[in-house]
């Protein structure tokens, strides 16, 4: 099954259009615990979710990206990679009460309202 799914995931991940029209952005960490004992411990990730409302008013709630690390730096780097146009479009930035994420929002999403 993975052989059928993986090419689709690679194609979706390469599509930069998924970042278009994001006005409400969510961020949270995820700790991935491997079941396989040959793999080393938990992996910390930062996940970004599009929480913007579509034309019908329904929240999109779609995963935009996962990046290694759980830090303000990981999130700030991801935001910087999206560029100024993306950053200016984000009006609301939702986060858990992690200070590192709040710092990244303050530095990169100057026009957004942070919501915890």
Tens of pLDDT, residue by residue over 66-115, are 898 888 999 999 999 999 999 999 999 998 878 888 899 999 998 999 88
Does 12 reside within a domain? Answer: no
Domain that holds residue 53: 20-115
Does 1 reside within a domain? Answer: no
pTM over 0.75: yes
Tens of pLDDT, residue by residue over 13-48, are 899 999 999 999 999 988 877 666 676 665 888 999
Does 77 reside within a domain? Answer: yes
96 and 87 in contact (C-beta within 8 Å)? Answer: no
Does 71 reside within a domain? Answer: yes
Does 52 reside within a domain? Answer: yes
pLDDT of residue 41: 60
Say how many domains are in the chain.
1
Task: Assign 67 to helix, strand or coil.
Answer: strand
105 and 114 in contact (C-beta within 8 Å)? Answer: yes
Does 7 reside within a domain? Answer: no
How confident is the model over 49-59, as a mean pLDDT? 94
Does 111 reside within a domain? Answer: yes
Does 3 reside within a domain? Answer: no
pLDDT of residue 99: 86
Which residue matches tokens 């008013």?
57
């Amino acid at each position: 099954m993975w052989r059928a799914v993986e090419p689709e995931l690679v194609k979706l991940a390469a599509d930069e259009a998924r970042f278009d029209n994001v006005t409400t952005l969510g961020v949270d960490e995820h700790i991935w615990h491997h079941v396989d004992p040959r793999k080393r411990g938990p992996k910390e990730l930062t996940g970004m979710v599009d929480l913007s409302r579509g034309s019908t008013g329904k929240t999109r709630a779609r995963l935009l990206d996962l990046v290694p690390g759980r830090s303000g730096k990981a999130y700030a780097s991801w935001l910087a990679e999206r560029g100024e146009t993306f950053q200016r479009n984000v009006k609301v930035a939702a986060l858990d009460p992690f200070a590192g994420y709040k710092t990244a929002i303050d530095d990169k999403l100057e026009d957004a309202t942070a919501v915890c």
